[in-house]
């Protein structure tokens, strides 16, 4: 008689920046004797440590972390490649573990692992540059206007304050002559695991205080020096993000120091808000305060029954 196949689980822990994902996931990994896969699209890069709040070896507490320091900033890496790499790694990890943890705040990368990536057409560098220049010169308004004409359906869904998503959709529209929304997958691919989805959040004031404190710590740890070393790569996608863009503007002389610090904190708070909006669109997440240890364990155990 065949042995029943043992179910494998992917414990997905998401939440906004500075909410406390790292600490909780390390404790969970020790409890379940398992490993952690990072779904933070900037922690992949060896050269980006301070501005990404990458967990130090001390903070990792001996728990194996994958997709942390796995690439160099000089390499192109995207959500599609990440999806394939994670699925390939999980095949090996599930030979030893019944449960693996995936954690991070990059919604697109989490979704790639859970739901698959859309098969998008190639986009020429000319189109990419053209849209990037338009954004630099005139801001987001003309891009949104163009997107509304080329793909009204996606225009209704996209976050109107997120230039990366707007530009990405326009790239595909212009490269293919088809609406971006026509390439987006409707069917979820089969996965060799069941997912257990947990969201972490705190009272807004408490979260914002933690974000401000973290930004002060990053500056003390040498964020400016890290950004200076990365300056030649400033147009890389991973560096078009909070924590680096503001320092690049300071280095360019566009803002003074006081304004730079203010923008770093304000933009980090806004980023946290956008992360929560993204994850709240997925109804399957069960939300907890990071200190609700017993409740979280009970939820995981019930989900595995």
Query: What pLDDT is stored for residue 150 in this prediction?
Result: 95
On whether the CB atoms of residues 286 and 22 are closer than 8 A, the answer is no
Q: What mean pLDDT, rounded, does the chain reach?
A: 92
Question: Pairing state of beta strands 194-200 and 36-38?
Answer: unpaired
Whole-model pTM: value is 0.83
Q: Which residues contact 72 (CB under 8 A, 6 or more apart)?
A: 45, 46, 47
From 173, 112, 175, 167, select the one nearest 139 (Cα to Cα).
167
Query: What pLDDT is stored for residue 188 in this prediction?
Result: 76
Which domains does the chain show, CATH number per domain?
9-117+187-303 (3.40.50.300), 125-183 (1.10.20.140)
CA distances from 283 to 76, 197, 200, 280 (A): 32, 10, 14, 7
Q: Is the pLDDT of residue 75 over 70?
A: yes
Which residue's structure tokens are 């994850």? 279
CA distances from 244 to 50, 167, 214 (A): 10, 19, 14
State the average pLDDT over residues 210-238: 94
> What pLDDT digit, counting tens, does each position of 235-253 carry?
887 888 899 999 999 999 9
> What pLDDT digit, counting tens, does each position of 98-119 carry?
999 999 988 889 999 998 877 7
Q: Is the pLDDT of residue 95 over 60?
A: yes
State the average pLDDT over residues 73-100: 93
Query: What pLDDT is stored for residue 1 in this prediction?
Result: 47
- Helices within the chain (DSSP H only): 21-32, 57-60, 79-93, 107-115, 125-138, 141-150, 152-157, 163-176, 204-221, 223-230, 245-252, 257-280, 293-303
d(CA 51, CA 207): 18
d(CA 122, CA 219): 38
């Amino acid at each position: 008689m065949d042995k029943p196949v043992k179910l494998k689980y992917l414990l997905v822990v998401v939440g906004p920046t500075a909410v406390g994902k790292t600490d909780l996931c390390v404790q969970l990994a020790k409890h379940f004797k398992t490993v952690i896969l990072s779904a933070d699209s900037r922690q992949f890069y060896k050269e980006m440590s301070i501005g990404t709040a990458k967990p130090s070896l001390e903070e990792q507490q001996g728990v194996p972390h994958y997709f942390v320091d796995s690439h160099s900033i000089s390499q192109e890496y995207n959500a599609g490649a990440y999806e394939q790499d994670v699925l390939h790694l999980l095949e090996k990890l599930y030979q030893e573990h019944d449960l693996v943890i995936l954690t991070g705040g990059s919604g697109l990368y989490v979704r790639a692992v859970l739901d698959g990536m859309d098969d998008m057409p190639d986009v020429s560098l000319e189109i990419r540059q053209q849209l990037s220049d338009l954004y630099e010169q005139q801001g987001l308004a003309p891009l949104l206007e163009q997107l509304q004409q080329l793909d009204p359906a996606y225009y209704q869904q996209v976050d109107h304050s997120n230039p990366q998503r707007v530009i990405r959709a326009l790239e595909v529209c212009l490269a293919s002559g088809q609406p971006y929304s026509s390439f987006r997958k409707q069917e979820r691919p089969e996965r060799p695991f069941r997912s257990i989805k947990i969201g972490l959040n705190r009272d807004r004031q408490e979260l914002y205080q933690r974000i401000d404190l973290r930004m002060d710590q990053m500056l003390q740890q040498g964020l400016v020096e890290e950004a200076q070393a990365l300056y030649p790569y400033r147009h890389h996608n991973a560096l078009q993000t909070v924590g680096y863009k503001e320092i690049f503007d300071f280095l360019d002389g566009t803002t003074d120091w006081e304004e730079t610090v203010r923008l770093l904190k304000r933009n980090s708070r806004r980023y946290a808000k956008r992360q929560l909006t993204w994850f709240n669109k997925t109804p399957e997440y069960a939300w907890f305060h990071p200190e609700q240890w017993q409740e979280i364990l009970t939820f995981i155990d019930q989900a595995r029954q």
